[in-house]
Structure 1
Amino acid sequence: MKRNVLIIGAGGVAQVVAHKCAQNNDVLGDIHIASRTLFKCEAILDSVREKSALKLADGVLQAHRIDAMDSAAVARLIRDTGAGIVINVGSPFVNMTVLDACIETGAAYIDTAIHEEPDKICETPPWYANHEWKKRDICAERGVTAILGAGFDPGVVNAFARFAVDEFMDEVKSIDIVDVNAGSHGHYFATNFDPEINFREFTGTVYTWQGGKWQENRMFEVGRDWDLPVVGTRRAYLCGHDEIHSLAARYPDADVRFWMGFGDHYINVFTVLNNLGLLSEHPVTTAEGLEVVPLKVVKAVLPDPASLAPGYTGKTCIGDLVKGVKDGREVEVFVYNVADHEEAYAEIGSQGISFTAGVPAVAAALLIAEGPWDAKEMKNVEDLDPKPFFTVLDRIGLPTRVRDEQGDRAWNE
């Protein structure tokens, strides 16, 4: 059993991860959190203490300052803390340096999003093959468990797809992942994740896997209305996203698409910012001779996503509509979760988007610590048995449901 957890990052998702690790420290042991900004780490641990979240009250909570781009420094911290599991919820720019540190030390690695290079947006697909999958062989050689994309999307939605195909189909035809946030944060404009990372998702080519090949579209070019549980009918748009790139490899004969909900106001503001060049990752020089990156300036003036939690109302609905064939008959099933912003804030002081991203990473850590997901090699979530994952998620706050011609029910009914 692997014990002791090192959390990399100190944003809204890291807060969720810290709280949920604390609630399960009888299994996960000492809890350490590290980022470039020590005071943010300490504030997260203070929030854990204020909520009396530690299951074992005498458990270790410790903050550290680290530059996660320095792989050797991360490896030293892993050794110094005795961490057996590293949960990387820092910037996607640090994925590979943190992964390399885990490979060096033998610690298990978990992340929630694909690696990105700061100077590149929307690399050629399949994205995982550009960076993470190049380390599969060495992970297997050294027996290092690395679970990629263990957030919600990517992550839980990958497990939804695997479950739907395994349980309900002989052949899968299409996987449509739908992510709708029907909540309201009360600000004129804000992003639910790091604005820099959020905008980078939407300024590049929209890649989807259709007809056995990669298809290219523009952001907001293709939209449709979805009738979803709890949140009702919502407009969502075809987007490029991490999970398409691994699911397409596992299910090459199926169409794999990702849809995200946006309101007209978000689209209008995004379009203006983009058309003005304010979402560019390339430096510009001001009249005063200052070199700035427009995207980083926009990030600096927008609300910190972690600050949105108080007063955030409404719910999210994220799920997979999977279509296929069973016993010669066409079937479809929607596997999904609904999360509540106010409930997330009441429990751990976060908004629902951070909650849905952070809880699955802790579920993955528990499954590594207890054995079922301690694969001793690199895996995407759909490569692993989804049922233990759903069982833990049910227990720690993200229950899975199924809607099909038989009705709407819990996944294990």
Structure 2
Amino acid sequence: MKKNVLIIGAGGVAKVVAHKCAQHNDELGRIAIASRNISKCQLIIDSVKAKGSFKVPADIQVFALNALNVEATKVLIRETESQIVINVGSAFLNMSVLRACINTGVAYLDTAIHEEPSKVCETPPWYGNNEWNHLEECKQKNITAILGVGFDPGVVNAYAALAQQQYFDRIDSIDIFDVNAGSHGKYFATNFDPEINFREFTGQVWSWQNSQWTSNAMFEIKRTAALPVVGSQNLYLTGHDEVHSLSKNLNVPNVRFWMSFGEHYINVFTVLKNLGLLSEKPVKTAEGMEVVPLKVVKAVLPDPSSLAPSYTGKTCIGDLVKGTKDGLPRERFIYNVACHEKAFAETDSQSISYTAGVPPVAAALLVARGEWDVQRMANVEELPAEPFLKALDVMGLPTRIKDENGDRAWDLIA
């Protein structure tokens, strides 16, 4: 049994993680939060206290930390006696935080794939460039390292695993739909770190089709889907983390990720890209200053956490799975709908942060209870889906199914 959680990061997702850890601190034990920005950490603690989120009376410790410094992170893990580290900082930190966890023998959880600042959209499978290089070491040292346990990646991986374990004899395709039908009222903004957000869309779009990697350009492939609650949506084939593990672990010939975009977003994005303002490569100004265009764009856009108070509407994220069962064709949509207003009422966050922040806490609870303390590195689809989805049901992210039999809460009946 593992207890005491160290949260690394102080953005919108970290705020949700802190609220949810506090709501379950009877099982998770002491909570600490660390970031280079102490003031942002304090705002999170103020929010947790104001909402009365603690299940049992406690406090959250705050620490200044540059998580790229492995030795400093190791010292903090030991100082706080943390046995579970939830890394929701920048994706640039993952390998440093993972190394600190391996060296101190504690469980590691993250919500997105590692990225190198100077590289965009590396050769697939992306996990093979960094994380999976540590598979054997984690196994030998009995380190539990659960990769990509946000919503997408994360919950959608569990949906895929549930489909394979319970609902299908053979799966021919998994299409992951990510729709934000909400409105933040700003001229232009991203729902999470702009730097990471734009990097997803400036490189090649890699998908897994006919059991091989297929490359397209961003916004090249479009489809329209009628989805529960949010209605008809335009979706674009997009590269994303979960495709790179599902393609390896589930033996499904077609795995694709689709995201909804409005015409306004596409127009602004296209202008920024064509002007070179989304480049991660440094340029020199006329005054001789060296700047990274993408970081400048990030600096002038609204902080994603500032969007929450005015956000309205809902998200719909899920897996459209097609295959056969008992010799007959089957199609099933496994999904969740989340509400921006409800997320803000509970955690002072919008539902993009909420859907990403609740799952790692559910995973931490399963690690604490021993159910997911697997003492190896694993992607979510390699773990039992049932306890994870059951935990999410009661933590604010219930799973539903839509098929020829209607729209209903999920169950294990095939």
TM-score, normalization: structure 2?
A: 0.99
After TM superposition, the structure 1 stretch with the greater mean CA deviation from structure 2, 191-200 or 245-254, is 245-254
**Pairs within 5 Å for 1:245-324:** 245-324=244-323
- 1:165 deviation in Å? 1.8
Provide the C-alpha distance between the structure 2 equivalents of 1:412 and 1:175, rounded to a whole number of angstroms: 19
Partner residue of 2:101?
102
Tell me the amino acid that sits aligned with residue 155 of structure 1. G
Partner residue of 1:36?
36
Provide the C-alpha distance between the structure 2 equivalents of 1:74 and 1:119, rounded to a whole number of angstroms: 23
Provide the C-alpha distance between the structure 2 equivalents of 1:205 and 1:322, rounded to a whole number of angstroms: 24
Provide the C-alpha distance between the structure 1 equivalents of 2:392 and 2:277, rounded to a whole number of angstroms: 39
Provide the C-alpha distance between the structure 2 equivalents of 1:292 and 1:130, rounded to a whole number of angstroms: 27
* Root mean square deviation, CA, Å: 0.7
- 1:168 deviation in Å? 1.4
Provide the C-alpha distance between the structure 2 equivalents of 1:193 and 1:121, rounded to a whole number of angstroms: 17
**8 Å contact kept, 1:165–1:322:** no
Provide the C-alpha distance between the structure 2 equivalents of 1:308 and 1:388, rounded to a whole number of angstroms: 32
Provide the C-alpha distance between the structure 2 equivalents of 1:298 and 1:156, rounded to a whole number of angstroms: 30
**Pairs within 5 Å for 1:6-17:** 6-17=6-17
Provide the C-alpha distance between the structure 1 equivalents of 2:187 and 2:15, rounded to a whole number of angstroms: 24
Secondary structure, in 3 states, of the residue corresponding to 1:309? helix
**Pairs within 5 Å for 1:393-404:** 393-404=392-403
Partner residue of 2:376?
377
Provide the C-alpha distance between the structure 2 equivalents of 1:405 and 1:167, rounded to a whole number of angstroms: 17
Secondary structure, in 3 states, of the residue corresponding to 2:242? helix
> 1:301-360 CA deviation, whole Å, 9 max, x = no partner?
000000000010000000000011111111111000000000000111000100000000
Tell me the amino acid that sits aligned with residue 13 of structure 2. V
Provide the C-alpha distance between the structure 1 equivalents of 2:226 and 2:105, rounded to a whole number of angstroms: 45
Partner residue of 1:3?
3
**8 Å contact kept, 1:178–1:319:** yes
Tell me the amino acid that sits aligned with residue 204 of structure 2. T
Partner residue of 1:157?
156
Pair 1:56-2:51 in alignment:
no
Partner residue of 2:355?
356
Provide the C-alpha distance between the structure 2 equivalents of 1:402 and 1:396, rounded to a whole number of angstroms: 18
- 1:288 deviation in Å? 1.2
- 1:47 deviation in Å? 0.9
Provide the C-alpha distance between the structure 1 equivalents of 2:250 and 2:43, rounded to a whole number of angstroms: 43
After TM superposition, the structure 1 stretch with the greater mean CA deviation from structure 2, 281-290 or 194-203, is 281-290
Question: How many residue pairs align between the two structures?
Answer: 412
After TM superposition, the structure 1 stretch with the greater mean CA deviation from structure 2, 203-212 or 165-174, is 165-174
Partner residue of 2:71?
72
Provide the C-alpha distance between the structure 1 equivalents of 2:149 and 2:251, rounded to a whole number of angstroms: 21
> 1:233-253 CA deviation, whole Å, 9 max, x = no partner?
000100000000000001334
- 1:167 deviation in Å? 1.4
Provide the C-alpha distance between the structure 2 equivalents of 1:227 and 1:375, rounded to a whole number of angstroms: 38
Partner residue of 2:126?
127
Provide the C-alpha distance between the structure 2 equivalents of 1:412 and 1:56, rounded to a whole number of angstroms: 32
**8 Å contact kept, 1:112–1:151:** yes
Pair 1:217-2:206 in alignment:
no
Provide the C-alpha distance between the structure 1 equivalents of 2:253 and 2:363, rounded to a whole number of angstroms: 26
Tell me the amino acid that sits aligned with residue 39 of structure 2. F
Provide the C-alpha distance between the structure 1 equivalents of 2:278 and 2:41, rounded to a whole number of angstroms: 28
Runs of 4+ with deviation above 3 angstroms: none
Pair 1:82-2:81 in alignment:
yes
Tell me the amino acid that sits aligned with residue 211 of structure 1. N
Instruction: Extract unaligned runs of 5+ from structure 1.
Output: none
> 1:16-53 CA deviation, whole Å, 9 max, x = no partner?
00000000000011100001111111111111111111
Partner residue of 1:26?
26
Provide the C-alpha distance between the structure 2 equivalents of 1:25 and 1:264, rounded to a whole number of angstroms: 43
Secondary structure, in 3 states, of the residue corresponding to 1:90? coil
Tell me the amino acid that sits aligned with residue 102 of structure 2. I
Provide the C-alpha distance between the structure 2 equivalents of 1:281 and 1:361, rounded to a whole number of angstroms: 29
Tell me the amino acid that sits aligned with residue 300 of structure 2. V
- 1:254 deviation in Å? 2.1
After TM superposition, the structure 1 stretch with the greater mean CA deviation from structure 2, 92-101 or 161-170, is 161-170
Provide the C-alpha distance between the structure 2 equivalents of 1:253 and 1:3, rounded to a whole number of angstroms: 36
Instruction: Extract unaligned runs of 5+ from structure 2.
Output: none
Provide the C-alpha distance between the structure 1 equivalents of 2:379 and 2:29, rounded to a whole number of angstroms: 25
Provide the C-alpha distance between the structure 1 equivalents of 2:247 and 2:100, rounded to a whole number of angstroms: 29
- 1:60 deviation in Å? 3.3
Provide the C-alpha distance between the structure 2 equivalents of 1:25 and 1:191, rounded to a whole number of angstroms: 31
TM-score, normalization: structure 1?
A: 0.99
Provide the C-alpha distance between the structure 2 equivalents of 1:263 and 1:304, rounded to a whole number of angstroms: 20
**8 Å contact kept, 1:4–1:85:** yes
Provide the C-alpha distance between the structure 1 equivalents of 2:397 and 2:252, rounded to a whole number of angstroms: 30
Partner residue of 1:346?
345
Partner residue of 2:335?
336
Provide the C-alpha distance between the structure 2 equivalents of 1:20 and 1:249, rounded to a whole number of angstroms: 31
Tell me the amino acid that sits aligned with residue 75 of structure 2. R
Pair 1:197-2:196 in alignment:
yes
Tell me the amino acid that sits aligned with residue 337 of structure 1. N
Provide the C-alpha distance between the structure 1 equivalents of 2:396 and 2:209, rounded to a whole number of angstroms: 34
